Structure 1
Amino acid sequence: MARVPWASHRRWFIVGLLFLLQIINYVDRQALSVLAPALRDQLGFSTEQYSYIVTCFLVAYMIGFAAGGRMLDVFGVKRTLAAAVCVWSVAGMLHAAARTWVHLAAARLLLGLGEAVGPTGGAKAIGEWIPKRERGLCMAIFSNGLATGAVIAPPLVAFLALKSGWQAAFLITGALGFLWLAVWLLRYYPPEADPRLTEPERAVILAGRDQGQDRSASWREVLSNPACYSLLLARFLTDPVPYFFTFWLPEYLRRSHDFSVALIGMVAWIPYLAADVGGLSGGAISDVLVRRGWTPVRARRRLMLVAACLTPVAALAVRADSAAVALACIGVVLAAHSCWTTNLQTFMTERFPRSQVGTVIGLSGVGSSLGGIIAMLLTGVIVARHGYVPVFTVLGAMHATAFVLLSLMNPTKKEPVS
């Protein structure tokens, strides 16, 4: 592959912009989680009612994944992501008007519809802009925006709530999306049409593309590929892990270790810092393996296997008497999941034609949301009756189960090195 000067690497600006999108996505999503312990007291809703609020988000997230993935393939990344950011930013601000748990549930529905398009749209944009030998690291940077948002959200939201009230926390975090949107509309173009992209870099980006894949693929074409179902199942099993920690970690720390809102804001970000490291390491190492001659599929799978071997540490976290030990174990789990997700999403962009990537990732997101819906509903009931031990233990085994099923349903094929 031809080399281009670093100064002409506009594709890294695009990756940075998408990274910021993921940060905003997760800050808006996690604002309710950080404030949930206080809101439960102020608005008077139970643990099970909180699980209904979470489930409303996931139901809308599932619909948004399926519809958004298709819209990305039909209408393009720029317009579809712009509309999605508008929707979820308004929804985030509407949380400030809630007076009952039903109001929160309605706001979460709208938030889920918009936010589901963010990860799918970003992954599709990276598939269009980034050559394969750089794609693992770039996908890790993009995916780590979620973990970075999770690092930022607890102290930011707690600070805003303590200084200005919980309503202001929702209004300010919700408004962040509109700032990002202004830059997106002014500066994003597909690589074929970007006026700021140098011709040498454009040639590097377009050189590895398959020809004749610009038309939108039909649902029938996508669903006829068995690999699509294996990816849906993999996300169905593994994505409940980050959903659980996103929505329940503050509650767990409050009920099991007697943390205050201020203390949650001080330490709840720490496991997500580990997730940043896991995602970046997983993406970078798999890229190194590709450059050393491994096929992309084999490299991504090897890192996913390593991640699957680490997630059972969750069973140790919930049994630890020390909050510090529990947080350290949760950090290992989230780092492993971040590595898993980075390589799984990269695999999707390499396994399917560009015309199908948005639809495939969207459909896999349906599996993600279905798994999350079932897991969060069960979590509310199980935690109320049996505590957190069964939940942590089962979630720790999901990645290993998914890896076995993914390997059986989607066997590795020999392929030429890119």
Structure 2
Amino acid sequence: MPEKSPDAYTASRWFVLALATLAQVGGCFLVQGLGALGPFLQAAFGLDAAEVGLAMSSAQMTPIVGFVIAGLLLDRFPERLIVGAGATMVAASLFVAARAEHYGDILFWLFVASIGYCTIQPGGGKVVAAWFPASARGFAMGVRQAGLPLGAALGALILPMIAERYGWRAAFDAGAVAALASGLLFALLYRQPPDPLPERRRAPSLWRERLGELAPRLPRIVLPGVTLVSVQFCITVYLPLDLRDRFGIPVDIGVKLLFLAQFFGALGRVGLAAWSDRSPRGRDYPLAVSVAAIFAGLAAYIAAPGAPVWAVALVAAWLGFFGYGWFGPWIALVTEAAPRGAVGFMLGFALAINQIIVVLTPPAFGALRDATGTFVWGWVALLLALPLALLSNPIMRARR
């Protein structure tokens, strides 16, 4: 069989990246777009803020363990099989959830959907790591990871319109169709690269050998991950409700501002990741800048009630760009910290740690709002936690 020319190989890389990004967009369309449906679910079932947060937690719960398992499976089986099966499970679960009569049933089927969703994040990350060299990996990771806020942004734009006209059940059906179509497209069209990543050896022996090497690297990955993902998901779940309650901004405008934040988040994932490829200080510097920018944006947002809508929109775009965009350089950093032949497992492990925070933070944030009568104290708590993201950053240690 003749070898591919360099031009053909380059074209194949970008085609694969497009497939992986589309799979991320479809898988995230409703799973990450639930915040835009929060007001509709709240009205339909008489929910308080903490119960609204439980919907996001249910959709994100199994990845705590599932990301690690998915990473192991991805190191052993074809990505197209694992991602395609996961997308099908997401679609089937959302379709059943759309027919549920009780909120508890919806939470259960969102939990089941989260099992399938476990394959999409590490699956796409491993695909990019296999097809792209380190010099372009940050940009490619950023493009692929832009699928998450882009899918959520499309969800924030489209799902409320569907729910307004046809009801929240139709919005869940739309999410099922998006997940199924994009996942099957990936499964049918994806092919392995000519020089795939080396097969991973058995996990126990690998991790016994590399534990000493990994342990010092984990704080550099974990601390920014868990801190920044807290901000990201509180914006995703609660921005429209906070804009309604604290700012007096109608829900239909609030979900458009959420779309704006997530759209700029998609741009941020690409832009910050591309910068991390070229930064002479490495990928840690864009992460440090993102933390400082999010701190400033949250401080402005806390003080923003009474400001005109255009000013709130600017703050939302700023928070979106950095509050979602940090993930691009971070996920590239994770792949580069992986032991040889264990990229899938390392991605799953890092994402699983983040996922614990994703599950716990939204209902805790909502419970704090229910206890105090305002979202302000939740945002203040996130603001005070942000410096933790810098504790293990080599850029900050170099300044000491």
TM-score scaled by structure 2? 0.88
Query: For residue 222 of structure 2, what is the aligned residue in structure 1?
Result: 232
Secondary structure at the aligned position of 1:302 is classed as helix
1:287 maps to: 277
Alpha carbons 1:279, 1:338 under 8 Å: kept:
yes
Code of the residue aligned with 1:129 in structure 2: it is W
- Equivalent pairs counted in the alignment come to 385
Aligned match for 1:392, one of 374, 379, 391: 379
Structure 1 CA distance for aligned equivalents of residues 54 and 90 of structure 2: 19
1:271 and 2:264 correspond: no
Structure 1 runs of 4+ aligned residues shifted over 6 Å read none
Q: Is the 8 A contact 2:200 2:340 kept in 1?
A: no
Give the whole-Å Cα distance in 1 for the aligned partners of 2:242 and 2:13: 40
**1:238 to partner: Cα distance:** 2.1
The 1:51/1:172 distance shift into structure 2, 3 A limit, reads closer
Whether the aligned pair in 1 keeps the contact of 2:240 and 2:254 (CA below 8 Å) is: yes
Cα distance in 1 for residues equivalent to 2:335 and 2:264: 25
Secondary structure of 2:62's aligned partner: helix
Corresponding residue of 2:319: 333
8 Å CA contact 1:349, 1:357 repeated in 2: yes
Q: Tell whether the 8 Å contact from 2:75 to 2:199 is kept in structure 1 after alignment.
A: no
Equivalent residues in 2 for 1:102-121, closer than 5 Å: 102-121=104-123
The corresponding residue for 2:288 is 305
Q: Which residue of 2 aligns with 1:351?
A: 337
Partner residue in 2 for 1:246: 236
Q: Does 1:319 align with 2:319?
A: no
Going from structure 1 to structure 2, the CA distance change for 1:30 and 1:38 (only over 3 Å counts) comes to: same
Q: How far apart are the structure 2 equivalents of 1:299 and 1:379?
A: 33
Does residue 174 in structure 1 map to residue 160 in structure 2? no
CA deviation after TM superposition for structure 1 residue 55, in Å: 2.6
Task: Name the structure 2 match of 1:162.
Answer: 164
| Identity value in percent | 19
State whether residues 271 and 328 of structure 1, in contact with CA within 8 Å, keep that contact through their aligned partners in structure 2: no
Stretch moving more, 143-152 or 349-358: 349-358
3-state SS of paired residue (1:239): helix
Instruction: Report the TM-score, using the length of structure 1 for normalisation.
Output: 0.84
Letter in 2 for 1:229: L
- Looking at structure 1, the residues matched to 25 and 206 of structure 2 have their Cα atoms a distance apart, in angstroms, of 33
Amino acid at match of 1:272: Q
Question: Which runs of no fewer than 5 residues in structure 1 stay unpaired?
Answer: 193-201, 413-418
User: Aligned partners of 1:140 and 1:388: how far apart in 2?
Assistant: 31
Whole-Å separation in 2 of the counterparts to 1:332 and 1:219: 43
Q: 1:232 touches 1:365 (CA, 8 Å); kept in 2? A: no
Letter in 2 for 1:245: I
Question: 2:86 corresponds to which letter in structure 1?
Answer: A
2:78 alignment partner in structure 1: 76
Query: 1:329-359 CA deviation, whole Å, 9 max, x = no partner?
Result: 2322231233421111111222223521111
Label 1:221 to 1:238 Cα distance change in 2 as closer, same or farther (>3 A): farther
Q: Where does the alignment leave 5 or more consecutive residues of structure 2 unmatched?
A: none
Which amino acid is 1:380 matched to? G
Conserved? CA contact 1:65–1:363, under 8 Å: yes
How big is each residue's C-alpha offset from its partner over 1:256-308, in whole Å with a ceiling of 9 and x where there is no partner?
Answer: 2334443334332111222122222212222234xxxx4xxx42112112112
Residues 35 and 158, structure 1, Cα contact 8 Å, conserved in 2: yes
2:73–2:82 Cα contact (<8 Å) kept? yes
Q: Which residue of 2 aligns with 1:404?
A: 391
Q: Look up the SS of the partner of 2:304 in the other structure.
A: coil
The amino acid of 1:32's aligned partner reads: L
Within the candidate set 333, 342, 349, 1:363 is matched to 349
Shift of residue 108 of structure 1?
Answer: 1.7
Is contact 1:45–1:101 with CA below 8 Å preserved after alignment? no
Contact 1:25 1:118 in 2 (8 A): yes
Structure 1 SS opposite 2:224 = helix
8 Å contact from structure 1 (residues 66, 366) kept in 2: yes
Alpha-carbon distance change, 67 to 93 in structure 1, aligned in 2, over 3 angstroms? same
Partner of 1:221: 206
* Larger deviation, residues 175-184 vs 305-314: 175-184
